[in-house]
């Protein structure tokens, strides 16, 4: 293209609609980081499209001055799939939540990820149903007392990233709403990845589940409870960066550095590993089991993309058969003439 793209600012991505999330909601931060990150991509605004389902997070498209669809509950990945298949030129973001994406829309999320269309999926995980006012969600912990579980939840919770990896995800990452630098950088990595990017964002619902992620966001505790992944680097965490994750047989364990244990003994992160086991193992590390919870990019590999292959098949058919002709089609096979 000869003409240079206009330089956009975050404000250029703000629509004229009043934002109606509760004051203090973690969604504000994600919206702000998205608006800040998008101009850095140098991608035309009119080619960006946000698609959401139903839930608090799913109001997101209304607040972005891009194209967008606020669709129906759980189905956003399916809308995105149809759109991407016919419009490879677009950058498509699916905005979903733990209820929308893992409960009613679990099937579509699974299939979008395994097809590896070149789209980006951001799941706002607040471990609660917000818009329907406080029922437990598929990521709520066992025993969670909510309006619909007065005696405690008895559903085993899902780990979103384990699901994404199990669905053969090619890009799987996690960030935290208030960790704005990390969040911005993670969203950017997701945008730049070719294939389906799945990003889980720990998001605080300050009305119905306030403090669900305190252990990962509190100044005092976060360094001990969160482990920032870096490709090719050993898994080290802690305020003093004196602890790490080591494999003991098939099982991870927390060890203290020094006293005969060096960095070389630790697990090293490899986001490009074809084998998903390491990424899966990392996705299983939970605070409640005494582990720090990793954030960052768990997995980023290159794999064939559904939309690309679909369109390649069309090109190939046109190259080998020529552009479709109705005349030829109608007269193919047996015909007869009545005079």
Which residues lie near other proteins (CB under 8 A)? 15, 17, 44-47, 49-51, 61-62, 64-72, 75, 77-87, 89-90, 107-108, 110-111, 310-311, 313-314, 316-318, 321-324, 326-327, 329-331, 333-339
Instruction: Note whether 197 and 191 are within 8 A (CB).
Output: yes
In whole angstroms, what is the distance from residue 156 CA to residue 139 CA?
Answer: 8
- CB nearer to other proteins: pick between 268 and 316: 316
Strand 251-256 vs strand 243-248: parallel, antiparallel, or unpaired? antiparallel
CB of 112: closest distance to other proteins in angstroms? 9
DSSP assignments along 217-281, one per residue: H-TTTHHHHEEE--TTSB-EESTTS-EEEEEETTEEEEEESBTTB-GGGS-B--TT-SSTHHHHH
CB of 323: closest distance to other proteins in angstroms? 6
- CB nearer to other proteins: pick between 80 and 229: 80
- CB nearer to other proteins: pick between 147 and 321: 321
CB of 29: closest distance to other proteins in angstroms? 21
- CB nearer to other proteins: pick between 4 and 327: 327
- Token pair of 186, please? 């993670």
Q: Which helix (H) or strand (E) holds 24?
A: none
Pick from 269, 267, 196, 194: nearest CA to 230? 269
- CB nearer to other proteins: pick between 51 and 172: 51
- Decide: helix, strand or coil at residue 190: helix
Alpha-carbon torsion angle 295, 117, 115, 106, nearest 10: 60
297 Cβ partners below 8 Å, 6+ apart?
Answer: 171, 172, 173, 186, 189, 229, 231, 271
- Report CA 99 to chain centroid distance, whole Å: 14
CB of 25: closest distance to other proteins in angstroms? 18
What residue has token string 């109606």? Answer: 20
In whole angstroms, what is the distance from residue 9 CA to residue 13 CA?
Answer: 7
62-74 residues labelled b (16+ CB within 10 A) or e (exposed): ebbbbbbbbbbeb
- CB nearer to other proteins: pick between 85 and 206: 85
CB of 189: closest distance to other proteins in angstroms? 24
CB of 58: closest distance to other proteins in angstroms? 9
CB of 63: closest distance to other proteins in angstroms? 9
In whole angstroms, what is the distance from residue 38 CA to residue 101 CA?
Answer: 23
CB of 302: closest distance to other proteins in angstroms? 23
- CB nearer to other proteins: pick between 264 and 323: 323
- CB nearer to other proteins: pick between 135 and 311: 311
């Amino acid at each position: 293209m000869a003409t240079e793209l206009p330089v956009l600012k975050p404000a250029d991505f703000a629509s004229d609609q009043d934002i109606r999330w509760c004051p203090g909601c973690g969604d504000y931060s994600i919206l702000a980081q998205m608006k800040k990150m998008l101009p850095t991509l140098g991608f035309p605004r009119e080619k960006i499209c946000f698609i959401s389902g139903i839930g608090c997070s799913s109001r997101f498209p209304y607040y972005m001055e891009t194209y967008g669809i606020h669709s129906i509950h759980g189905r956003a990945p399916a809308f995105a799939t149809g759109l991407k298949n016919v419009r490879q030129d677009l950058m498509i973001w699916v905005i979903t939540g733990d209820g929308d994406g893992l409960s009613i829309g679990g099937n579509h999320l699974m299939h979008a990820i395994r097809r590896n269309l070149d789209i980006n999926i951001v799941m706002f995980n607040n471990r609660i149903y917000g818009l329907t006012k406080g029922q437990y969600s598929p990521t709520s912990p066992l025993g969670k007392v909510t309006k619909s579980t007065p005696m405690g939840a008895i559903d085993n919770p899902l780990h979103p990233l384990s699901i994404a990896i199990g669905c053969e995800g090619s890009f799987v990452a996690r960030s935290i709403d208030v960790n704005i630098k990390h969040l911005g950088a993670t969203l950017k990595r997701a945008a730049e990845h070719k294939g389906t990017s799945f990003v889980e964002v720990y998001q605080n619902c300050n009305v119905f589940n306030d403090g669900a992620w305190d252990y990962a966001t509190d100044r005092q505790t976060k360094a001990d409870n969160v482990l920032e992944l870096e490709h090719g680097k050993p898994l080290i965490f802690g305020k003093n960066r004196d602890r790490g994750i080591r494999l003991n047989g098939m099982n991870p364990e927390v060890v203290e550095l020094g006293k005969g244990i060096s960095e070389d003994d630790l697990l090293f992160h490899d986001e490009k590993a074809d084998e998903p086991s390491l990424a899966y193992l990392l996705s299983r590390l939970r605070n409640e089991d005494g582990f720090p919870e990793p954030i960052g990019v768990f997995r980023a590999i290159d794999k064939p993309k559904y939309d690309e292959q679909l369109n390649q098949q069309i090109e190939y058919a046109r190259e080998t058969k020529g552009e479709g002709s109705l005349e030829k089609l109608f007269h193919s096979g047996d015909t007869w003439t009545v005079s």
